[in-house]
A = this chain, B = another copy of it.
Amino acid sequence: MKTCQDGVHLPKCTDIPVVGTAKIKNPIKFGRFVDEDDAVLVKITRKNVAKTAKNKKTPKHVYFEPAGPRDKIYYDSSKTKCAVVTCGGLCPGLNDVIRAVVMTAFHEYKVPSVLGIQFGLAGFIPEHGYDVIEMTPDFVSRIHEFGGTVLGSSRGPQDPEAIVDALERMNVSILFMIGGDGTMRAAAAVVKEITKRGLSISVVGLPKTIDNDINFASPSFGFDTAVETAAIAIKGAHVEATGAPGGIGMVKVMGRDAGYIAAQSALSCQEVNFVLIPESPFDIQGENGFLAALEKRMKSSGNAVIVVAEGAGQELVAASETTDASGNKALSDISTLLKEEIKQYFAGKDMPISLKYIDPSYIIRSVPANANDRIYCSFLGINAVHAGMTGRTGLVISRWNGRYVHIPMETVTLGKKRISTRSNYWRAVLESTGQPISMQNE
């Protein structure tokens, strides 16, 4: 965008591509448009500022472009057709995003049609035979009171060419794609295909991950609700653990690559003794291993609550599969492995235990968003429409340093956010649980 170019005094702003020049006056009534100087500094600690100040070659500061309505838009809103698709696993807040997109498109821009693509990217492929839904304000009016997605979802990629064929066939001008990093990569491929064909179709991404592991989203939508819901299961595990001699409550939560739900819900409960996350490898056996630490806890307190992220200890799961080649079924996930190991260990020690296992994953994914996430999702949806109407494409809407911003699509898929085990955040988890700093033998 022009307004984002580096001037004499103005530092650099990350670029967002456009499908064409925005020349049409924005029709929204309430007439205050984004001041491009509201661009938000990406890195805000002194260390970073000092570093960039020294390095003369790189731009002094990098900013994210502010989200919000512009005074000029690209699409003639009275003729614009939008489409929304939700992809991947469920996550609280999907319906809120959908609702906000539809409401903003209809009420602010008087867009005549917002299509709902059913069951994810598969919905673009005619062979699947899924109908497209004409979403009206009336249709979406109360969907935010329900969990899940009113459009349905599905996993897996589809051919970008087939998707763009469908967009052309349906005459869609702006496509809103809500999904995880796989979906964002698919979105990038769709943008590429659109560019190749020279079409004027914008693609705006709304990154979704219940695991909260998206780069440059703090946190991802639905995460707060997920933590609140996980806490219910953890409370149950605590009650069960203290309710029986040798009581151990184990809760598995989502978190394939990052343990945010496990860590955050443990912090919110104050009743967890072990949090096992992908970022902090551990041994099961050995004098510093998990079982030894658990035994110590059981001896001192008589009970324990363990929260394990599904992606924790994957190397242990892999090892168990290898070693377990004697014909038995290999343990396919960390919670099953832990349950087996715990039972064997305490049986070997002749210490009776009572292990209760809770997997609340599908409950967590499917609850309606809480107030906080409802508002967050609304702003994501609102800002997605504002961005799309200007002709911007290949971007995602996010909140960074407390402000809604535009981020180039590839930026969020470059890597994943992880918990630093050296951070004050993880320290607080260790303090709250009392678990050892490390459960590795060496």
Q: What is A's interface to B at a CB cutoff of 8 Å?
A: 9-11, 13, 29-30, 32, 34-41, 44-47, 49-50, 53-54, 61, 63, 66, 68-69, 90, 99, 103-104, 107-108, 119, 122, 128, 130, 142, 144-149, 152-154, 218, 224, 227-228, 231-233, 235-237, 239-240, 242-245, 247, 249, 264-265, 267-268, 270, 329, 356-360, 362-363, 365-367, 370-372, 374-375, 378-379, 382, 401-404, 422, 424, 427-428, 430-432, 434, 437
Inter-chain contacts of A245 with B (CB < 8 A): 119, 122, 128, 130, 152, 154
Closest Cβ of chain B: how far from A375's Cβ, in Å?
5
A378 lies within 8 A of B267 (CB)? yes
Q: Report the Cα distance A66→B72, complex, angstroms.
A: 41
B237 lies within 8 A of A362 (CB)? yes
Q: Please give the count of copies of this chain that the complex contains.
A: 4
Considering the complex of A and B, which 5 residue pairs feature the smallest CB-CB distances, nearest first?
A37-B47, A148-B239, A239-B366, A268-B371, A39-B46
Q: A30-B427, A69-B424, A152-B244 are in contact. List 13 more A-B contacts (CB 8 A).
A: A9-B53, A130-B245, A231-B371, A237-B362, A240-B365, A243-B366, A264-B371, A268-B371, A356-B362, A360-B360, A372-B372, A379-B428, A382-B431
Report which of B46, B61, B437 forms a contact with A37, defined as CB distance below 8 A: B46
Closest Cβ of chain B: how far from A248's Cβ, in Å?
12
Inter-chain contacts of A119 with B (CB < 8 A): 244-245
- Chain B residue nearest to A422 (CB atoms) is B32
Report which of B30, B218, B362, B431 forms a contact with A30, defined as CB distance below 8 A: B431
B329 lies within 8 A of A9 (CB)? no
